[in-house]
Structure 1
Amino acid sequence: MDTIFTRGPSLQNRLLLAVSLSLALMFFDHKLDSFSSVRTLLASLVSPIQYMANVPGQVLSWTAERITRQDQLLEENARLRRQHVLLSEAVQRVEMLQQENNQLRALLQSPVQIPVRKMVAELMAVDNDPYSHQIVINKGSIDGVYEGQPVLDESGVVGQILHVGTTNSRVLLIADLTHAIPVRVVRNNIRLIVSGSGQLNTLTLNHVPHSSDIRVGDLLVTSGLGNVFPPGYPVAKVAAIGHDESRPFASISAEPVAKLDRLKYLLLVWPQNKDEEQ
């Protein structure tokens, strides 16, 4: 069976002819530069094909670069978010420490009228009984705490020690129904008794005649009677006065100067006579 490869000159002759023509073309192109215009034309014709052939590679490179940059941006964004959370937490801690530092500074500069021994205590627990206003602090008998000891915050009287344990103590707040404290009015030295009302923001003044010179805003401080609270500790400010002539005494309420609903750090004080006994 004859094929197209068996027709015409033999394969050796064809190869020889092709090599001869190639050498001739190379000679003429090198010596005479005869095909420069043809080469330029062919290069112009081939350049769009070369451009199209390079497009997929360029697209892949651009896509890979974009993906890499996006991954880097996502990673950097996640890192910045983590840093933001950490810095936010640090700022909160700094603000909390600053606030506690201010509270402690104010506490140590509390309005004590005479030189006494002081100790800072911290709130441990609050009594859950709605009819009882008591708290627990982290100081006890090993710290020299005693029953009846005055307890202050940075503003004024908080209460007094009710029970003493080895490492903690229970404090009876001045707002408790069972608590009473002798006071005097700073403006005119009238002596009164302030009792708890069962509400943290309200105290009551007992057995005050209608004729007593008491005004809203009067500051009440400890009088020193009873030998529990030394004189001069701020206790409350008169908030409201009611006169009902059908009753023998005026109805007077006061607001504690101590922040009884926001206690954290407290100040234990030892009056001079107690300090000398110890």
Structure 2
Amino acid sequence: MAYPGNPAPRLTDGAGSTLPLLAYLAIATVLMVADLRGGFAAKARVQLTTLVEPVWWLASAPGRLSDGASEFFSSRAALQQENERLHRELQVNASRLHRLLAVAEENQRLRGLLGGTRGYRLEAQLASIIDVDLDPSRQRIVLDAGGNDGVRVGQAMIDAGGVLGQVIEVTPRHSTALLLTDPEHAVPVQVARTGLRAIAYGTGRTDMLRLPSIPQSGDIRVGDRLVTSGIGGRFPAGFPVGVILSVQPDETQAFVVAEARPSARLDRGVEVLLVSNTTTGVDAGPPLPPPPVPVQDPAPAGADAPAVDPGQADAPQPQEPVE
């Protein structure tokens, strides 16, 4: 039943609104099938991305400029702080170097007054490690420098940390060095804090040295630094050897046994420095005075005068020096 002003809906009206939707679904289905078989959508996305990339670059330019500016100023501030810190350290190190130079000059003057130890300087030579043997019973390394390079048996070997050992065998092109921790190695050391002298022996371990027979009255503590004492002349004085880790009485309770950690990096590193003390002729000192002329006792009365060589009768006789 139809009312005036409200006409009944017709079938053609519903079909007209559904046909576009069916057309869209058909087009979408065709596109999906085509994309599945030919990958047209992926290619289209690549092309669109290439076209839109300049727009993205322009859109992100303000952010990139802001980040670059902040990074530039932060890096500039950090570099300024680092420069100031290094400048202060340089001034401190320069003052320390001047003091060390003054101490070295004073030490040289004192050596000149004492005599017998003047004219020593440090000779150093760089060598590379080509073989390492860290067996507990045999700890040695082989260097690429030998007799042709001036290496000598007995030269001390150090690295950036401290004493490594000493050269025991030299060939024309290579040399073998005994490490500090070898059971057959020993080095005279001195406690830097107190000056106490001792002998540090190798234990076969790369992280341990042993100092036996220290008197009970010896002032040695955990944390004390050990340096070479220079006794014997094999190791120049003053090089770091190790740090005391423990101190305990021995079995007899009459002495103290200390254990130390080596300062050198025995299990790493590829280069070492060979050092030795050499004498120079600069500080040879003044010449010694000539020996005094012996004075002979006069011949006793009545004794025969010694015979005189006729060829020396007219030779001038030596005169006694006058004070």
TM-score (norm 2): 0.51
Q: Secondary structure at the match of 1:271?
A: strand
Structure 2 Cα separation of the partners of residues 202 and 164 of structure 1: 27
Q: Secondary structure at the match of 2:202?
A: strand
Structure 1 Cα separation of the partners of residues 213 and 220 of structure 2: 13
Mapping of residues 1-278 of structure 1, within 5 Å: 58-59=31-32, 61-63=34-36, 64-66=39-41, 116-127=122-133, 129-244=135-250, 246-273=252-279
- Segments of 5+ residues of structure 1 without an aligned counterpart are 1-45, 73-112
Structure-2 change in CA distance of 1:171 and 1:55 (3 Å): same
Task: Determine if contact 2:236/2:276 at 8 Å carries over to the other structure.
Answer: no
Structure 1 Cα separation of the partners of residues 167 and 258 of structure 2: 27
Structure 2 Cα separation of the partners of residues 196 and 275 of structure 1: 37
Structure-2 change in CA distance of 1:204 and 1:47 (3 Å): closer
Structure-2 change in CA distance of 1:244 and 1:223 (3 Å): closer
Matched residue type, 2:230:
G
* Residue 179 of structure 1: how far off its partner (Å): 0.4
- Segments of 5+ residues of structure 2 without an aligned counterpart are 1-18, 48-103, 105-119, 283-323
1:120-164 deviation line (CA, Å, top 9, x unaligned) = 322221115331111112222222111111111101000011212
* Residue 245 of structure 1: how far off its partner (Å): 7.1
Taking only aligned residues, the RMSD between alpha carbons, in angstroms, comes to 3.4
Q: Secondary structure at the match of 1:148?
A: coil
Task: Determine if contact 2:154/2:234 at 8 Å carries over to the other structure.
Answer: yes
* Residue 257 of structure 1: how far off its partner (Å): 0.9
Matched residue type, 1:226:
G
Structure 2 Cα separation of the partners of residues 219 and 49 of structure 1: 92
Q: Secondary structure at the match of 1:124?
A: strand
Task: Determine if contact 1:117/1:275 at 8 Å carries over to the other structure.
Answer: no
Matched residue type, 2:165:
G
Structure 2 Cα separation of the partners of residues 230 and 135 of structure 1: 21
Task: Determine if contact 1:239/1:253 at 8 Å carries over to the other structure.
Answer: yes
Matched residue type, 2:35:
W
* Residue 190 of structure 1: how far off its partner (Å): 1.6
Structure-2 change in CA distance of 1:244 and 1:147 (3 Å): closer
Structure 2 Cα separation of the partners of residues 166 and 221 of structure 1: 32
Structure-2 change in CA distance of 1:244 and 1:127 (3 Å): closer
Aligned residue-pair number: 193
Task: Determine if contact 2:121/2:279 at 8 Å carries over to the other structure.
Answer: no
1:9-29 deviation line (CA, Å, top 9, x unaligned) = xxxxxxxxxxxxxxxxxxxxx
Mean Cα deviation higher: 47-56 or 193-202: 47-56
Structure 1 Cα separation of the partners of residues 264 and 174 of structure 2: 21
* Residue 65 of structure 1: how far off its partner (Å): 2.5
Q: Secondary structure at the match of 1:204?
A: strand
Whichever structure has more helix as a proportion of its residues is 1
Using CA pairs under 8 Å that are at least 6 residues apart, name the structure with larger relative contact order, 1 or 2.
1
Matched residue type, 2:31:
Q
* Residue 51 of structure 1: how far off its partner (Å): 7.6
Structure-2 change in CA distance of 1:246 and 1:150 (3 Å): closer
Structure 1 Cα separation of the partners of residues 214 and 130 of structure 2: 37
TM-score (norm 1): 0.59
